[in-house]
Structure 1
Amino acid sequence: MRVMVADDAALFREGIARVLADSGFDVVAAVGDAQSLLERVADDPPDAVVVDIRMPPTHTTEGLDAAHALAGSHPDVGVLVLSAHVEPHFALQLIESGARGAGYLLKERVADVDELGDAVRRVAAGGVVVDPAVVAQLVGRRRERSPLDDLSERERQVLELMAEGRSNQAICQRLYLSPKTVEAYVRSLFGKLGLQAGADDNRRVLAVLAFLRN
């Protein structure tokens, strides 16, 4: 799998590239700013990019802006945005950007080689990844009445794991449930959220968006 990395901190950038290479990824570019990343993607699109949310020139949302741009120009390129802080509103913006595969992960997760590699593979495959710390913060905030209030405790647990980008198989393993049971919970929560029958990948994204907004 071909991956590009963008981070203005040279040591961190090279560290990410080395970790990914050691995990079997083909790191085809490692650059220090968002504009360079966009140019390299335009020249030779990879399967996924890993980009810091804050880079030159303003160190604000360059990585997020690059993700939005790629959603329009290269929708098949998965984008994993790394952040040093838990910022739920940025995670929501990223998912709403329309990218085929999008993820928001805290930089501290990079130390877990398996978790980083799994997140890159999931966004490259078109999935959605949200850092568990962001999901936990969203779960804890107060909300007005919403369709999510009709979910059972188990359905909510399944949706929280979906928001992290977990597949049905991963949810089975996490909750010690059978595949058929998880499928039943997923169908049920789709129904309660008013998501009509259609492509399950799209309904998963819509369900995650409903969860993040409320």
Structure 2
Amino acid sequence: MRLVIVEDNALLREGLVALLRERGIEVVAHAEDGDGLLRIVGGHKPDVAIVDVRLPPTFTDEGVRAALEARRRHPGLGVLILSQYVEPVYTTELMASGDGGVGYLLKERVGEVREFVEAVERVAGGGTALDREVVAALMRPQGAEAGDDVLDRLSPREREVLGLVAEGRTNSAIARGLVVTAGAVEKHISNIFSKLDLPAGGDDHRRVLAVLAFLRAAQEG
């Protein structure tokens, strides 16, 4: 796996470089702003870019905008967003922008090294890795009427399973967490695909589409 890092905080940036290299991940370049992201992605053709949401000069959403442009120029690029805040709208935009994997983690998760590295690997493989705080926020009831919410088609257990899929959990991990059989999880996921009208094809691709539907419905509610 070839990876680039874009983070304006030099201490965190160097810490990420050291942590990932210690675990055998090739960090080919790093930068501190959006222009730097586009430059190093174009020059090194990485599999994944780890990007801070808020970068110079205005520290608003430069990181996400640069990541969207990078995916436009380099289809299939995986993007793992790091943020201090729960702002899932960015994840929806990124997932809708191309075929590469997408992750959104709070910066504090970097300290959970094994889980963080697993999230990087999932994104590199084209999957999703959403922070549990992001998923929890999306699962909270909305104040207004949801209208024709696509997630209303799902049972409470299916919504719970979909939230765990959004975190990037495997079927076996979901089964362990819910204390059910792997077969029960497979049935729930099959029902989710059917109720969300997802086209037949690779299950990995449909998992990403299901997460995208989850994000969109939660934001429209």
Q: 3-state DSSP class of the match of 1:103?
A: strand
Deviation at 1:187, TM superposition (A): 0.6
Name the residue aligned to 1:41.
Answer: 41
Aligned 8 A contact 1:68 1:99 in 2: no
Count of residues paired in the alignment: 214
Identity %: 49
TM-score, normalization: structure 1? 0.92
Name the residue aligned to 2:31.
Answer: 31
Aligned 8 A contact 1:38 1:70 in 2: yes
AA matched with 2:42:
A
1:63 corresponds to 2:66? no
Gaps of 5+ in 2: none
Deviation at 1:6, TM superposition (A): 0.8
AA matched with 2:19:
V
Deviates further, 141-150 or 73-82: 141-150
CA separation in 1, counterparts of 2:75 and 2:176?
Answer: 31
Name the residue aligned to 2:77.
Answer: 77
Q: 3-state DSSP class of the match of 1:186?
A: helix
Name the residue aligned to 2:50.
Answer: 50
Name the residue aligned to 1:177.
Answer: 180
Deviates further, 156-165 or 191-200: 191-200
Aligned 8 A contact 1:92 1:209 in 2: yes
- Change beyond 3 A, Cα 1:19–1:136: same
Cα displacement string for residues 33-73 of structure 1 (whole angstroms, at most 9, x for unaligned residues): 12112111111212211111111122111211122112222
Aligned 8 A contact 2:91 2:102 in 1: no
Name the residue aligned to 2:134.
Answer: 134
Aligned 8 A contact 1:94 1:104 in 2: no
Aligned 8 A contact 1:67 1:99 in 2: no
CA RMSD of aligned residues (A): 1.6
1:146 corresponds to 2:137? no
Name the residue aligned to 2:106.
Answer: 106
Gaps of 5+ in 1: none
Aligned 8 A contact 2:158 2:189 in 1: yes
AA matched with 2:138:
L
